[in-house]
Amino acid sequence: MSIVTDAKNGKVTEEMKIVAEFEDLDPEFIRRGIASGRIVIPTSPYRKVKLGAIGEGCRTKINASIGSSSDIVDIDMEVKKAIAAEEAGADTLMELGTGGDFLEMRKAVCDAISLPVGSVPLYQAFIEAARKHGSIVHMTEDDLFNATEEQAKAGTCFMAIHTGINKITLERLQRHGRYGGLCSRGGAFMSTWMLHNEKENPLYEQFDYLCEILKEHEVVLSTGNGMRAGAVHDATDRAQIQELIINSECAERAHSEYDLQVIVEGPGHVPLDQIKTNVQLMKIMSNYKPFYMLGPLVTDIAPGYDHITTAIGAAVSASYGCDFLCYVTPAEHLALPNIDDVITGVKTSMIAAHIGDMIRLGKRDEDLAMARARRDLDWEKMYEIAIDGKHAKAVRDSRAPGDEDACTMCGDFCALKIVNQHYDLAK
Rounded-to-integer distance, Cα 267 and Cα 241, Å: 10
Cα 336 to chain centroid, rounded? 18
For residue 196, the model assigns a pLDDT of: 98
Q: What is the pLDDT of residue 150?
A: 95
CA distance 152 to 137: 24
Q: Chunked in runs of 10, what are the mean pLDDT values of the chain (427 residues)? A: 95 98 98 98 96 98 96 96 98 96 92 97 97 97 97 96 97 95 96 98 98 98 96 97 98 98 96 98 97 96 98 98 98 97 98 98 97 96 97 95 89 90 89
Residue ranges, CATH 3.20.20.540, the chain: 59-360
- The confidence score (pLDDT) of residue 402 equals 86
By DSSP bridging, strand 324-326 and strand 39-40 are unpaired
- The domain over range 59-360 is classified in CATH as 3.20.20.540: yes
pLDDT of residue 169: 97
